[in-house]
Amino acid sequence: MSLYYFHFANGKTVLDEIGTELSNLAALRKEAVLMSRDVILLPNGECPSLWDGAPSKLWVTDQPSAAGRTILTLGISAAH
């Protein structure tokens, strides 16, 4: 098991200080997709800045506060 830190930026940057323990890269990828979905789907059902075309990013590092090595990055954007 390894500890991974999930960070998100969409006009505002939120850095993970706690981390999530996961067993392998497949589990890390699944968790990154699930976290992205959860961030996009706010209580009102959507992330308004996402639909304005503002790029968002979720990235995972091996140390807190976005330090260390970047393991995975997901870029998220939408337009209507």
pLDDT of residue 39: 73
Estimate to the nearest angstrom the gap between the alpha carbon of 71 and the chain centroid. 12
Written as six digits, the tokens of 19 are 């981390």
pLDDT of residue 11: 76
Paired with 76 in beta bridges are: 56
pLDDT of residue 51: 67
Q: Tell me the longest C-alpha to C-alpha distance in the chain.
A: 40
Per-residue pLDDT band at 78 (split at 50, 70, 90): confident
Q: Please name the amino acid found at residue 12.
A: K
pLDDT of residue 49: 65
Residue range 7-65, pLDDT digits in tens? 998 878 989 999 999 999 999 999 999 988 877 776 555 566 666 777 889 999 999 99
Q: Which residues have C-beta within 8 Å of that of residue 77, sequence separation ≥ 6? A: 50, 53, 54, 55, 56
Residue 32 contacts residue 16 (beta carbons within 8 Å): no
- Break the chain into its structural domains and give their ranges: 2-76
